[in-house]
Amino acid sequence: MRYPNKVEFLLSFTVITVLLLLLTNADLHAQIDRNRKEEINITSAFKPSIVRTGKLEFRADPPLKDTSAYVFRYNQSTLNFKTSVGPIEVKPIAFKSDTDADNISGETFFAKLGYGNIQNPFASLSYNSKSQGNHFSLHADHNSAKGSFADQQYANSSLLAKFSKRINENQVADFSAGYDFNAYKLYGYDHDAITIPSDQIQQNYHHAFGGLSYQYVAGSDGQTLFTPSMRYDYFRTNRLVSENQLLIKMPVSFRIASGLHLKTAIDIHALQLSQNSKQQDAKTLIQVPLNIEYAVNQIMLFGGITPVLKNDKLSVLPEIQVSYKLPETSVKVKVGFHNELNINSMYKLNQINPFILPVDTLTIFQEQQYFAGFDLHSAKGLQLSVKTGYSQFKNQPLFINNGAFGNELKVLNETSLSALMLDANLTYIFSNNLKFSSGLKGYSFQKQSDYDEAYGLLPLELLFRLDWEPLEQLKTRFTTVLWSGTMSKTGNNTDIKLQDAADISMGVEYKLNKKWALWIDLNNIANSRYQRWNQYPSFGFNFIGGVRYAFNKKD
């Protein structure tokens, strides 16, 4: 092993595993209100087993854009990019009210306004209308900030519209469209030594998208489920680079007999990259998974093959997962082999790192993962998932500083990278008003074909989060994220390792009445001047607060 953090990784692996095993065997008593009524709408052929559990936001999916206020959330990427290795997402707002909940009735219209200490105005509008099977929502957001370093600033604006139509008991159609604009500056250089014109350090990104999906349940008791979807994305930078992307998915599930399902799909991903209105490169990835799911007694088998057409070459990839529920326990052990493929688009790369130079060629990413682990879902409120194994990555994006100044980051394409991996998530619901979540992602990188280090990839990430509502009117959230520094390369081609870092944040919202609420976010409370990307220090401690107002509710 070439990495200096091997000992740290193995130590963290051992400690976390021991703690998780101890916690699993502990006698936990959760005070959960089980008398609260719940309405459950079953819209498919599946019969769910209902356990009160929490959904942990720490995911193995890749992050969204680095907006540099350095408060962390782990939402799934818009383009469903599922790389297990990737930089972490950064968001400017530590706490945001859920104004688009599924249980809304009638009409809801919210406005949220705020301002903070780093000259960061924030505005968010959300309108929802739900009646007689129709659900319409419209969202508009804007936030910006200026830090203490020269040119350390960003701005983000977005608009999203969604409409859902329930045609009948068996059919639902969904439509969505939106636009977002992001502006950054390449501030990561010595402003006292050199002067770079403002237009040369500006990074502007325009993104427009639209899509539709359809769900159809057929058969007297829902033997068949058909959920096709289509999405188009247009992405453009101020460096005259643009990208057109089309995603088409047509999954179908057939229940052949009790406990036996046949699942297949047609998955098409087409992408075209252009510069100065001239096509630079184009890629098409077509996948047709053919899988069988069979459940008998305590055993569940899932597997099959996926014919894949990429770069005009046809290949067939296997897929298998076996899980077994231990008798008289809530523990399910699992083992399997999995493949994941997608195109390394400019949009995806800029979501990971907004300070990069445009790429001129497209590559197809692939992860092959061999894993084993276990899941535990306790009726007492404990949810635990542990997975460890070995991953092989092909065409994995890496990031290094480029040029003499180093403020522009360059994307490297690592054709082959292997790693030992550990992914663990734990959630415990103490009550309806108190939930604790934690997660760990760790990689011990083994072999690489093209480069000496896994530049820009985090070897270790830890997340701790507490959601607490001490009063009916008061909501709070406490989050701590720790990670091991990445390997980087300076402008003079010297390898360095960034320092380990921690980010602590807190969000509070207090409802004055049905219309008015006060909110405040405290970000990077420890005022840590860490660098997620080399030469790009964080904003340090910052806060933003304001009011939220519901237009159509009575006091």
pLDDT tens sequence across 423-458: 999 999 999 999 999 999 999 999 999 999 999 999
Q: Please state the φ and ψ torsions of residue 359, each to the nearest 5 degrees.
A: -90, 155
Q: Which amino acid is at 314?
A: L
Predicted TM-score (pTM) of this structure: 0.81
Q: Is the separation of the CB atoms in 476 and 506 below 8 Å?
A: yes
Map residue 78 onto helix, strand or coil. coil
Q: Report pLDDT digits (tens) over 164-185.
A: 999 998 999 999 999 999 999 9
How many C-beta atoms lie closer than 10 Å to residue 419's C-beta? 24
Work out the mean pLDDT of the chain and round it to a whole number: 84
Contact 167, 135 (CB under 8 A): no
Judging by DSSP bridges, how do beta strands 278-287 and 290-296 pair with one another?
unpaired
Distance CA 265, CA 295 (A): 21
Q: How far apart are the first and last CA of the chain?
A: 64
Is the pLDDT assigned to residue 319 strictly greater than 60? yes
Evaluate if residue 85 carries a pLDDT over 50. no
Residues above pLDDT 90, as percent of the chain:
74
Q: C-alpha angle 23/27/30, rounded to 5°?
A: 95
Please enumerate, as own/partner, the contacts of 99-104 that have beta carbons within 8 Å and a separation of 24 or more: 99/126, 99/128, 99/139, 100/126, 100/128, 100/137, 100/139, 104/128, 104/130
Asked if 385 and 371 touch (Cβ cutoff 8 Å), the reply is no
Helix (H, G, I), strand (E, B) or coil at 200: helix
DSSP notation for 317-368: EEEEEEEEEPTTSSEEEEEEEEEEEEE--HHHHHHH-TTBPPPSS--EEEEE
What is the token pair recorded at 510?
A: 């207090």
- Among 447, 454, 539, CA closest to 489: 454
Q: CA 474 to CA 100: how far, in whole Å?
A: 19
Q: What residue type is assigned to position 449 of the chain?
A: S
Three-state SS letters, 284-328? EEEECCEEEEEEECCEEEEEEEEEEEECCEEEEEEEEEEEEECCC
CB atoms within 10 A of CB 341: 21
Which residues, in sequence order, are CB contacts of 401 under 8 Å at separation 6+?
A: 188, 407, 408, 409, 410, 488, 489, 490, 491, 534, 535
* pLDDT at 399 > cutoff 70: yes
Read off the pLDDT of each residue in 387-402 and give the average, rounded to a whole number: 96
pLDDT of residue 380: 86
What's the confidence (pLDDT) of residue 494? 87
CATH tag, 6-532+536-550 = 2.40.170.20
CA distances to 77, 235, 310 from 285, in Å: 19, 19, 5
Q: Which amino acid is at 505?
A: S
Span 105-151, pLDDT tens digits: 456 899 999 999 999 999 999 999 998 889 999 999 999 999 999 99
